[in-house]
Amino acid sequence: MLKVISLLKRAEGMSHEEFAKWVVEEHVEFARKLPGLRRYTVSVSNGDDGAYDSVNELSFDDEEARAAAFGSEHGRAAAADAAAHTSQRVHLLTTEHAQL
C-alpha cells in the first residue's frame, strides 16, 4: 500500500479551531472524490502551538493510482483548496508496512 503523509500548517490569521473545522469537515469532500483513494485519515493536533496542525494520510494501491488521483481534476482542486488554507505543507511518499 502506497501512502502519502501530509503535514499541514494552517494559514496565517486562521485559528486552530477554524483550521480543524476546515480540514475535518470541508477538505475531506475533495478526498472523497479522488479516484483510486483507498483510505483517508486526518489527525488534528490537540493545541495550537505545534509545528503542524494536522497529519493527513492518503492510501493508494500503487504509484500509478496516486499519480492518477493527484493529476485528476479533483486532485488539482484539492491542492488548490489546501494551498488556500495552509501556510506550509510537507508531503512524504511512503510504503506502509503494518506491524500490528
Written as nine digits, the cell of 12 is: 496565517
2-95: CATH topology: Alpha-Beta Plaits (3.30.70)
Q: Provide the angle, in degrees to the nearest 10, between the axes of the packed helices 73-85 and 63-71.
A: 70
pLDDT of residue 98: 87
Interval 34-64: pLDDT, tens: 999 999 999 999 987 889 999 999 999 999 9
Beta-strand pair 54-60/86-95: unpaired
CA dist 12 and 21 (Å) reads 16
pLDDT at 86: 98
Domain ranges for the chain, please list them. Answer: 2-95
